[in-house]
A and B are shown apart, each in its own frame.
Chain A
Amino acid sequence: QKEVEQNSGPLSVPEGAIASLNCTYSDRGSQSFFWYRQYSGKSPELIMSIYSNGDKEDGRFTAQLNKASQYVSLLIRDSQPSDSATYLCAVNRANQFYFGTGTSLTVIP
């Protein structure tokens, strides 16, 4: 079983809609959780971090963590074409980082 699993997509949403990205992790000992955005040909960029159960909002982004169900999600409100990228979920456990394979998001104008 992989440490971190994501649906590879592609996920397509129309401009202005909410994009919902999901991630599950296998080890309950995981301590902190991150979402990265990676544009084609570029390195990953940290967009959200979340450490406790519940929601964390930053602008158009909301990260949600449910430790009991071992899932993390990222909501992007009012999606823009510039949000088109691959989104990587990452989990930190015992000072080791584990990355999902990423979900490709396309926002259609």
Chain B
Amino acid sequence: GAVVSQHPSWVICKSGTSVKIECRSLDFQATTMFWYRQFPKQSLMLMATSNEGSKATYEQGVEKDKFLINHASLTLSTLTVTSAHPEDSSFYICSARGRAGELFFGEGSRLTVL
């Protein structure tokens, strides 16, 4: 299947700082990528749809000014958590759609805000 790589796999930061997470499609071009968040023992929550060359589409309740998404190329989308606070601590996962329409997920990035 298609390969989606995410970096970093874990990050610890101080409250008030910003953290950038990268998501790359390694062997295919992804015009659309998706960002999910998952709290412990809960289901995946779609945060936003990242569109190459245009603005991201955010799900209801997700602050676009706090979670900045940039999709500048067909193989790279980034999620920046600005002014992170402890309640932003979570598992952030990106995904991209493969040729048959299936979703492939990155390894995930575990964010801990102190």
- The interface of chain A, by Cβ under 8 A from chain B, is 32, 34, 36, 41-46, 49, 88, 90, 92, 97, 99-102
Contact = CB atoms under 8 A, between A and B. Distances in A.
Interface of B: 1, 6, 34, 43-44, 46, 91, 93, 100-108, 110
B101 A32 contact: yes
Given A99-B44, A101-B43, A46 B34 contact: no
A90 B103 contact: yes
B85 to A, nearest CB: 22
Query: Does more than half of chain A's interface fall in helix, strand or loop, or is it mixed?
Result: strand
A43 B43 contact: no
Given A34-B102, A101-B43, A43 B1 contact: no
A90 B34 CA distance: 14
A89 B98 CA distance: 17
Contact of B93 (A43, A46, A49, A101): A43
A100 B43 CA distance: 8
B23 to A, nearest CB: 11
Contacts of B100: 49
B57 to A, nearest CB: 11
